[in-house]
Amino acid sequence: MGPPLVGVTPIFAISFWGYDLGKRLVYSATPNRSDAKLSVAELAIAGGFSAIPATLVAGPAERVKVLLQVQGQGSGGVVYKGPFDVVRSLYKQGGLKSIFRGTGATLGRDGPGSAAYVLAGYFVAYELVKDALKPANSDQLSVPAIITAGACAGVAMWSIALPADTVKSKLQSASEGTYKGVVDCVRKTWGESGWRGFYHGFGPAMARAVPANAATFLGVELAINAMDKFF
């Protein structure tokens, strides 16, 4: 629980900041647009852009989390005393490269997962469902509508992102030398289990996606409304 609790605040803060920055970049690239509302493709670009800065924090945090979660399983004993011990041990093994192992796979997961290229992406799904639930004469969403849109965003993202997340977790939890890189991990996973090997844990991922992302977007919307009032 330690790494997620420490890492979740900067990860989500940077992710939503990146999404807003991505939208600003789209607007700056299309100064003569006739409609202020972004298209699905433009939302996808902004969502995909948000993954780039967030991954710099998410990659190492997920590496530490995964190692702590898998230790003690099978024949392996408890190796690490806590998050700081993991970081210290990884740095001794291979420096910053070891700490950031799997960051490329994390970007592969979060980039396509956030943008999703058409309708099923994280921010895209949220915006589409939010617009569909928005009252005709108001921009204010009810709490149930925000929760519903957030839950749909989570399901959409993880439906697409799970294969990349599986590869990322394998890279981050494996001992040195198990995989040569992302391509090698993909090839070995396919050889062992076929396409099903990339969807292990689909049920728990979906069970987590609904409440976690509903809470995330509710927190964001409430925070924005509060800051609008006070600032």
- Domains identified in the chain, total number: 1
Assign residue 226 the CATH number of its domain.
Answer: 1.50.40.10
The predicted structure's pLDDT at residue 45: 85
Structure tokens that stand for 194 in this block: 């076929």
Q: Do residues 13 and 6 lie in contact, with contact meaning Cβ atoms separated by under 8 Å?
A: no
The predicted structure's pLDDT at residue 108: 64
- Write out the residue range of the structural domain in which residue 210 sits: 2-230
Three-state secondary structure call for residue 58: helix
The predicted structure's pLDDT at residue 117: 37
Pick from 55, 53, 51, 84: nearest CA to 67: 84
How many C-beta atoms lie closer than 10 Å to residue 169's C-beta? Answer: 23
Pick from 76, 74, 77, 96: nearest CA to 87: 96
Q: Do residues 209 and 154 lie in contact, with contact meaning Cβ atoms separated by under 8 Å?
A: yes
In this structure, the dihedral spanned by the alpha carbons of residues 104, 110, 113 and 117, taken in order and rounded to 10 degrees, is -70
Low-confidence ranges of the chain (pLDDT < 50): 114-120
The predicted structure's pLDDT at residue 54: 74
CA distance 124 to 111: 13
The predicted structure's pLDDT at residue 4: 63
pTM tops 0.85, yes or no:
no
Q: Do residues 113 and 153 lie in contact, with contact meaning Cβ atoms separated by under 8 Å?
A: no
